[in-house]
Amino acid sequence: MTLELQGIGVSRGIAIGKAHILFHNQPDVREYLIPKFSVEQEVDRLQAAIEGARQQLRSIRQHIPANAPTDVASFIDTYLLMLNDSSLTQVPIEMIRSRLCNAEWALQLQRDALINVFNEMDDPYLRTRQDDVDHVVNRIHRILADENVADHEIPDGRLKGHIIIAEDLTPADTVLMQHQEIAAFVTEHGGATSHTTILARSLGIPAIVGIESVRRYIQDNELLIIDGETGTLIAGADDAITAEYQQRQIAFKQHIASLSRYKSQPTQTQDNKAIKLLANAELPEDIKTISNSGAEGIGLYRTEFLYMNRSAPPEEEEQLSAYRDVVESMNNMPVTIRTFDLGADKTVDGGRNLSQTVTNPALGLRAIRLCLNQPNIFRTQLRAILRASAFGKIKIMFPMVSTMQELTQAKLLLESCKQELDNEGLDYDRHIEIGVMIEIPASAVCAEIFAKEVDFLSIGTNDLIQYTLAIDRIDDQVNYLYDPLHPAVLRLIFMTLQAGKHQNIPVSMCGEMASDPRFTRLLLAMGLEIFSMHPNAVLEVKKIINESNLKNLPENTLQILNMSNPFDAEKILDKINNTHRIGL
């Protein structure tokens, strides 16, 4: 009997292999009091466990293949940095001494406090970082309990070609999977923006998340078929279904191998329309991956990493060094730096929150609102970006602008920083371009007004879809409603593109929609000429663009903009993607 389960496809590819079920039991953490004379012994026990976790992670890092993407190592480095952070190393020790409690309980209390902070974050990507805290703490807990850590539940060399079924996985697990040639993985939890799924995409491991209670329906060593694009898991497939997916698997591998020839080709449609492909970057380590992707620059450089996990915001010289390194590494290709998109709940100012806790941080003091609320921190960043512009082509982008007043204030602060640099005799690009993120419905509706005051617009589809449809895309209860083809979303995108056209300024898209090959031709037809995406998606999108002819697309686009039924919209999208061929 064939069983088909549906989850969220987060890493493309077809895998066929036997199931291996992992049961990562959570450590049973209980509180007990310790006598005063045992306090230092308990402290030593915690410190030894932390050092043990550090050694394990270093060992895992050594297993990373030399040809793996550079961001693979950065995930493990993140864990190692967390193990050096006082919030995990010193605070629990203080609790042991003050409360006379066991190490496990002190660590658990601090874990709960940190998770609460992340749970309140408004940014879905940053909110998923709570998983990293959990993974590190669980690793330490298992060492304290003298248990095997989750990574060692994947036996070395014995599961080549298997499909891992688990409640959840760590990035460290994923690295070991790639090293041991695991075919794919399926988890009960997780989202498209977690470190694990991002890493799976970088490593090319087919993956599905969000199949609730999947371990109840699958047996160990049962033959499975995984489609990481559609999020489909098939068990008990007959010979015909298996043969079909084997052919799909071969075709997909041939397709991926064929993409390398597009790296040196210009990006243009069959009717000679030039399109620009840029990459998104989050960490300095991403630059090497971007350079190897064939991207023409960076369309979104996130700066939040400079502000996280520290007791005070970064000084101007530290930021200048970071931005200069990036722009010089890009060899005069453009770099669009987004000013910090932090929220009301994120600690960046001397260890205290920048504002009072709010009921819904997503609708509170965040992004440009927080920048303007904390002008000294904002000015420091603006000065650093301006100074870095003397070393390469930099653009400045303001996030989550919703009113003209916010844009005016930001521009005035920028002009004030320019005047300061002039007075100090410091170099910068006096014609530096500025733009705004269009990521909430209000800014999309008013895009033409903003377009008169800036040099460019950039559509952030992740938040635009989320705010338009009033759903949290990493919430398992409602993320099925996250629909880029919703007519309200498409009309807001089209409205923004038209605003740029009317005011003769460029409009880019830097959300996940830009990197999804399903939407490439639709976005081309709507008028998008600048795509910014994860580096690994560049060649895939370039292939589709280079095989497209814009003259065949507008009619389908007008139809899809007016579709009220999502199934009808999908049919139109399939028509655009499946019937369009070179020369048609």
User: What b/e readout covers 35-70, taking b as 16+ CB neighbours within 10 angstroms?
Assistant: eeeebeebbebbeebbebbbebbeebbebbeeebbb
Same domain, 164 and 95: no
Query: Which of 89, 117, 150 is the endpoint of a domain?
Result: 150
Q: Find the distance separating the first CA and the last CA of the chain, reported in whole Å.
A: 43
Query: Do 58 and 108 fall into the same domain?
Result: yes
Who's near 424: CB < 8 A, 6+ residues apart?
none
Q: Comparing C-alpha atoms, which of 362, 378, 354, 498 is closest to residue 440?
A: 362
Residue 391 resides in a domain: yes
Q: Which of 20, 486, 510, 580 is catalytic?
A: 510
Report how many domains make up the chain. 3
Say if CB 348 and CB 314 are below 8 A apart.
Answer: no
Answer whether residue 71 is part of any domain: yes
* 567 is a domain residue: no
Q: Is residue 556 part of a domain?
A: no
Provide the pairing of β-strand 347-349 with 14-21: unpaired
Residue where a domain terminates, one of 150, 169, 203: 150
137 lies in the same domain as 161: no
Bridge partners (DSSP) of residue 398 are 436
Q: Give domain status of residue 565, yes or no.
A: no
d(CA 264, CA 267) in angstroms, rounded, equals 9
User: Is 317 among the domain residues?
Assistant: yes
- Could you give the CA distance from residue 426 to residue 400 in angstroms, rounded to a whole number? 30
**Does 314 reside within a domain?**
yes
12: domain CATH number is 3.50.30.10
Note the pTM of the prediction, 2 decimals. 0.71
- State the angle between helix axes of 39-62 and 130-144 in degrees (0 to 180), rounded to the nearest 10: 120
Are 71 and 283 in contact by the 8 Å Cβ rule? The answer is: yes
Q: Do 520 and 432 lie in a common domain?
A: yes
Do residues 276 and 371 share a domain? Answer: yes
SS3 453: coil
Report the distance separating Cα 284 and Cα 298, nearest Å: 12
Q: At CA 106, angle to CA 100 and CA 110, rounded to 5? A: 140
Q: 446 catalytic, yes or no?
A: no
CATH number for the domain spanning 115: value is 1.10.274.10
If asked whether residues 136 and 252 sit together in one domain, one would say no
Last residue of a domain, which of 107, 132, 150? 150
Tell me how far apart the alpha carbons of residues 136 and 147 are, in angstroms, rounded to a whole number. 15
From first to last of its 584 residues, the chain has per-residue pLDDT tens of 899 999 988 888 999 999 998 876 566 788 899 999 999 999 999 999 999 999 988 887 776 665 555 556 667 787 888 888 888 889 999 999 999 999 999 999 998 888 877 766 655 555 666 777 888 898 898 898 875 544 444 545 567 899 999 888 876 677 767 767 889 999 988 766 566 777 787 778 899 998 988 998 999 999 999 999 899 999 999 999 999 999 999 999 898 888 888 988 999 999 999 999 999 987 777 787 888 888 999 999 999 888 876 778 899 999 999 999 999 999 989 999 999 987 643 444 433 444 444 445 567 777 898 999 999 999 999 999 999 999 999 999 999 999 999 999 999 999 999 999 999 999 999 999 999 999 999 999 999 999 999 999 999 998 899 899 987 765 666 666 778 889 999 999 999 999 999 999 999 999 889 988 999 999 999 999 999 998 888 999 999 999 998 887 766 677 888 888 878 888 888 888 875 443 33
Q: Assess whether 190 and 315 both reside in one domain.
A: no
SS3 assignment for 228-280 = CCCCEEEECCCHHHHHHHHHHHHHHHHHHHHHHHHCCCCCECCCCCECEEEEE
Return the CATH number at 369: 3.20.20.60
* Rounded Cα distance, 448 and 209, in Å: 39
Is there a single domain that holds both residue 220 and residue 366? no
Which domain range does residue 61 map to? Answer: 36-150
User: How far from the centroid of its chain's Cα atoms is residue 46's Cα?
Assistant: 32
216 and 78, same structural domain? no
- Residue 3: which residues within 8 A CB-CB, separation 6 or more? 217, 234, 235, 236
569 in any annotated domain: no
Is there a single domain that holds both residue 120 and residue 232?
no
20 as an active site residue: the answer is: no
Question: What residue type is 486 in one-letter code?
Answer: H
Q: Is 416 left (phi over 0), alpha (psi -120 to 50) or beta?
A: alpha
Among the listed residues 195, 486, 534, 580, the single catalytic one is 195
Query: Does one domain contain both 127 and 186?
Result: no
Residues 421 and 513 both lie in one domain: yes
